[in-house]
Amino acid sequence: MSKLKLFGWIWALLVAAASGALYSAIIFGGRTYIGAAYAVVIIGLLLAFEQDLLFSRLRFWLMGLPTPVYFLMTLILNIATVAAGTLVVGTALWSLGVMDSWLDSALPSEGVLIYALFVSALMVFVLRMRDLVGREVFASLLMSRYRQPRSENRVFLFVDLVGSTNYAERFGDLRTQKYLGEFLKTVALSVRRFGGTVDDYIGDAAFVTWRFESGIRNSACIHCVLHILEAIKARETFWITEFGEVPRLRAALHGGPVIVAEIGLDHRKITYFGDTVNTTARIEGLARDLKRSFLISDSLLNQLSPMASITTEPLGSYAVRGKGQTLSVTAISPAPIYSA
C-alpha cells in the first residue's frame, strides 16, 4: 500500500471514529468510545469493499449493472455490512464486559438502521457518480483542482482494438459494439489494477493516463499493458465462443509535460494539452505502420526500472509527422508470467 493510500485510510478511519463518537454523544449522551468502535469497523469494511480489498469480483459485477439496479443492490449490501459490523463489534464489546446485553449490542437498533440507510444511500449515489466519470476525474472536478490550467508530468497510454472495422463488416454493428464493450471492460479492469485512469474512449480505443510518478513506479504502465494481454489470453475460449475471435490490441506509451485544465460548462471535463499527448497518438500510428502490438518511447523507457520479465527490441528513430524531428521507440514483447 502506498503512503498516499495509507494516509487516506488513516484519515478516513479517524473521521469515522469521530462521527461514531459524536453519534453516541448526541443519541446516548456518553461512552463515545463505543460509537467510535462501531463506526471504525463498519466504515473500515465498507472502505475495504470499495477499494477492492474484499470481494473484488462482486464489486466489478455491481459496477457493470444498470444504475437503478446498482443502487438497490449496493444499498442492500451496505445495510448487510452495517449489520455484520454491528454483530462483530457488539459481540466483542459484550465479551469484554463493556456491554451488558449481547442482544442490544450485537443487533442494530431501528435508529441505527435508519441512520445507516440514509448514509448508505448518499454514499452509493456519490460513488456511482464517481464511477461514471472516473475516480481521478471526479475528485479533480469536485476539488476544482484544474479550474486554473496547470502544468504536470504524466504518462499516457493509447490502447486500441485491431481490426474492429473488418469485424463490423463480418458480424454487423450491434455485435461489434458488444465485442468492443467487452474488450474495453478488460482494458479498464487492468488499468484500475495498476493505478491508472481511463480518461476517455475514442472509437475503438481507450485513452489512459497516470500521474508520472505513479505510472513509472514499478513500471506500472508497462505491467498494465502486459496484464491486458494476459487477461485476454486467459479467456480465449470465451472470446471465440461469444465473438468468434480473440481480440488483438495495439498499445503506445509515452510520457512528459502537459497542461491539464478543466473545460466546459454544462458538461465539464478534464483535458490534456501539449506535445506529449500528440506524440503518444503518433507512436500508436507508428505501431500500426511497423505492425507492432506494443511500442514505448525510449525517453519514457529510459526512466523505468529494468524489467527482466520482458523482451525489448530497440527500433531506432523515426520521423514524426508534425514535429519536424525524430522519435526513438522500442517494441516490447510480453513474457507469459502474468495472471489475470
pLDDT 10s digits, 162-172: 999 999 999 99
Q: Which of 334, 233, 321, 231 is nearest to 284 (CA)?
A: 321
Average pLDDT over residues 184-189: 91
Q: At residue 57, what is the residue type?
A: R
Contact 221, 194 (CB under 8 A): yes
Predicted confidence at residue 244, as pLDDT, reads: 93
Contact 212, 153 (CB under 8 A): yes
Q: How confident is the model at residue 235 (pLDDT cuts 50, 70, 90)?
A: very high
- Give CA–CA dist 82/124, Å, rounded: 14
Q: Helix H segments across 144-219?
A: 164-171, 173-193, 212-216
Q: At residue 202, what is the residue type?
A: I
Instruction: Find residue 316's DSSP bridge partners.
Output: 329
- Residue scoring higher pLDDT (68 or 252): 252
Task: Determine the 3-state secondary structure of 182 from DSSP.
Answer: helix
Contact 157, 253 (CB under 8 A): yes
pLDDT for residue 219 is more than 80 = yes
Predicted confidence at residue 324, as pLDDT, reads: 64
Q: Which domains does the chain have, with CATH numbers?
A: 3-133 (no CATH), 150-333 (3.30.70.1230)
Q: Helix H segments across the chain?
A: 3-27, 32-50, 56-63, 67-95, 102-106, 110-133, 135-143, 164-171, 173-193, 212-216, 220-234, 236-243, 275-290, 298-301
CA distances from 263 to 151, 153, 266, 281 (A): 15, 19, 10, 21
- The sign of the torsion formed by the CA atoms of 254, 203, 235, 130 equals positive
Average pLDDT over residues 144-157: 89
- Cell representation of residue 111: 435508529
- Give CA–CA dist 56/49, Å, rounded: 7
Predicted confidence at residue 242, as pLDDT, reads: 94
Distance in angstroms between the alpha carbons of the first and the last residue of the chain = 20
Give percent of the chain with pLDDT exceeding 90: 36
pLDDT digit string (tens) for 17-75? 887 788 778 766 667 888 888 888 888 887 787 777 777 778 778 877 887 887 888 88
Predicted confidence at residue 133, as pLDDT, reads: 66
Predicted confidence at residue 338, as pLDDT, reads: 45
Q: Which of 330, 340, 335 is nearest to 302 (CA)?
A: 330
**C-alpha count within 13 angstroms, C-beta hemisphere, residue 75:** 16
Contact 210, 196 (CB under 8 A): yes
Instruction: For the chain, give the mean pLDDT.
Output: 84
Q: Which residues contact 182 (CB under 8 A, 6 or more apart)?
A: 242, 243
- Give CA–CA dist 228/338, Å, rounded: 9
The angle, 0 to 180 degrees and rounded to 10, between the axes of the packed helices 164-171 and 173-193 is 140
pLDDT for residue 340 is more than 50 = no
pLDDT digit string (tens) for 316-325? 988 776 666 7
Task: Determine the 3-state secondary structure of 311 from DSSP.
Answer: strand
DSSP for residue 306: P
> For the ranges 138-142, 177-181, 298-302, 316-320, which has the lowest average pLDDT?
138-142
pTM for the model stands at 0.72
